[in-house]
Structure 1
Amino acid sequence: MKAHIDLTRCDGYANCVLEADRVFDVDESTGQAVLLLADIPGELAGDARRARESCPAQAIRLDG
């Protein structure tokens, strides 16, 4: 599974970090989400899905 963040949509809510802190973080200089892992290992797939679902801006896309 691959994760993508649409930075034109990301408003820095950081819900993704709360759900998947080993996959996402927040860039302190921009306030937007950053990927720690673009290729999500199987054991973190559920966390990544919860992060996508919790994003109010719908800025996260998961492929695969």
Structure 2
Amino acid sequence: MRIVTDVGRCVGAGQCALTEPRVFDQSEEDGTVVLLTDRAEGDVLENVHEAVDLCPSQALSLEDD
């Protein structure tokens, strides 16, 4: 699956980075999401699904490859 972020929608809540730090980080400048990789599989994908669900601004989504 491909991970898609919309930095314009991101409010910097950090739920994604807390849920899966191997994929998500936060900008030191404004706290918005920084994508460390745009692909996920296995247990990482499971956590990415959770991060997508937890995102309060709906700035994260998944697309099929």
TM-score normalised over the length of structure 1: 0.92
**Counterpart check, 1:23 vs 2:2:** no
- Counterparts of 1:21 and 1:51, CA distance in 2: 10
- Counterparts of 1:41 and 1:30, CA distance in 2: 28
Secondary structure of the structure 2 residue equivalent to 1:4: strand
In the alignment, which residue of structure 1 is the partner of 2:36? 36
Secondary structure of the structure 2 residue equivalent to 1:47: helix
- Partner deviation per Cα, 1:8-59 (whole Å, 9 max, x = no partner): 1100000001111111000111210010110113231100000000000000
- List gaps (5 residues or longer) in structure 2: none
- List gaps (5 residues or longer) in structure 1: none
Identity of aligned residues (%): 36
In the alignment, which residue of structure 1 is the partner of 2:4? 4
Residue-pair matches, total: 64
TM-score normalised over the length of structure 2: 0.91
Which consecutive segments of 4 or more residues in structure 1 shift more than 6 A?
none
Q: CA RMSD in A?
A: 0.9
- Counterparts of 2:18 and 2:57, CA distance in 1: 15
